[in-house]
Chains A and B, each alone.
Chain A
């Protein structure tokens, strides 16, 4: 039973390019969460998605960031026109249910470096 998969593990982009981060949840999990860890800071919630629905994107920057979780395929976190301040580790987690006691299981993260 594979865990949460994220790819790529490392991504380098020049300023102004687009970054696409992918997350495949654990088998049987239909709830996905994205968190960001800026250098030397704690993790912060970005967005919570179910299949084909964004439930809460209150932690997403208002511009340039978007997320989706299509019916088929992985969840995608997309960052347009990246800037140096987007350099961070982006972690994805999944769970079988959303609210309540259910544990969130984390992927290995994608480290984005913007040059």
Chain B
């Protein structure tokens, strides 16, 4: 089945230690998104890639970076995680920007200790 896979499901990192979250897709979708969802909050868009074009949200902290080396993979890098970065990180894909029916991965739960 075509899908979006996030690894790992759970990630524990130390305060200030760089961490990378991974997302892969077999849908061949053009757009990949990263959302951050804190407890009882709405998923918040951090950035997205349309093909190789990177689009950062204005309020996404500089601490968060992303890479998309090819169509299938997208990475979320947190350079110096703080306690406030503990959250569920959701990767999603869509065929194009006008396609609102996103396909989400199962998410990575990040804990910062």
Physical interaction between A and B: no
Binding site for B on A (CB under 8 A): none
Q: Give the interface of B toward A (CB within 8 A).
A: none
